[in-house]
Amino acid sequence: MVRAWLAARQRPILTQSFNIFEYTFAMPLSLDALTVIDAIDRRGSFAAAAVELDRVPSAITYTVRRLEDELDVLLFDRRGHRARLTSAGRLLLDDGRRLLTAADEIERRVQRVASGWETELRVAVDTLVPFARVLPLAASFFVECRARDAAHTRLKFSHEVLGGAWDALADGRADLVLGAPGDPPPGGGYRLRLMAEATMIFAVAPSHPLAAAKEPLTESQIAAYRAVAAADSSRRMAPRSAGLLAGQDTLTVPDIGTKLAAQVAGLGCGFLPAFLAAADVAAGRLVIKAVEPPRAPVRLHAAWREARPGRALAWWIAAVTQTDWRFLALGPTPATTAATQPTARRRAAVTSAASRR
């Protein structure tokens, strides 16, 4: 196959004594082609990739067919409604994604060296962190950019769930993550700031059978009922889960806000951040139940990997460090504690939770 490809591109040049073959290489594999294949694989169809890349569908099809012709391999299995990579296509994309990441990093480093300010800063926010609390930081950042004549730095936010924030950081899709829960993945190189420890409560709707059950609830009792779980948004790493029991029926939803709504609707049970459920608990739309064993608070981190961050990332690190995130630890006292403590000690527990960062 390689010989045939070379033969098609060789052009003889006649001299007095011998022939010299000049090879003109028109490299079929380009960063643009890899970008197209990556978008098709993530979005599941040529049409969806065209929307993401702001191109007409015919341009996407032409790019893929040209690459397949040049390489003499089939990259996509086009049977069915979803475009699926062949084994050859998967190998190409797995290696190609590393090239795309490297090329993007080279571009960003060059631009950073030239001005000190990144052209784009990508911030992944876990859905445990209310996005409305992040927007004031964005507003302040834009003011700083104008004051420093660095208005060309673009912000790109994304939402992640469970291990998705760590995955985005490890995979190079984010420069900074906010609210990354738990411990970072193996491999090291992560720089952390603890934002808060989010208190977790087990809650059900008043109409749910567990609402009237004797406390504390055991794992065997909980496992008999459907759990509502937010789907981990990781692309490369193994997905994480939290609060699910073996064999338990599960309703999977896209984010923590939808999980809250599903539990208020009585569609299942599960753990929720106390601050997020506080309004529904106060209004009687959710009932907190003591469980055994109790759920430990979830440590939420701001994290990045750059040892020498550019000026935009450095600004965000400083701003996040100075922001008061203690509201993430607020909310009703977990029922596992409240059910067994006198009123005075319960108040002390709430005060203690409010003072933790």
Tens-digit pLDDT profile for residues 212-251:
999 999 999 999 999 999 998 988 877 776 767 777 898 9
Q: Is the pLDDT of residue 344 over 50?
A: no
In this structure, are residues 302 and 176 in contact, taking their beta carbons and an 8 Å threshold?
yes
38 CB-contact burial (10 Å; exposed 0-12 / middle 13-18 / buried 19+) = middle
DSSP codes, 93-105: HHHHHHHHHHHHH
The pLDDT of 14-28, averaged and rounded, is 46
The residue that leads in pLDDT, 351 or 308, is 308
- pLDDT grade for 280, boundaries at 50, 70 and 90: very high
pLDDT for position 103: 84
- pLDDT grade for 176, boundaries at 50, 70 and 90: very high
- pLDDT grade for 335, boundaries at 50, 70 and 90: very low
Phi-psi map region of 162: left, alpha, beta (phi>0 left; psi -120 to 50 alpha): left
Strand pairing class (120-126; 176-181): parallel
11 SS3 class: strand
Lowest mean pLDDT among 168-182, 193-207, 327-341: 327-341
Find the helix packing angle between 256-264 and 274-282, rounded to 10°: 30
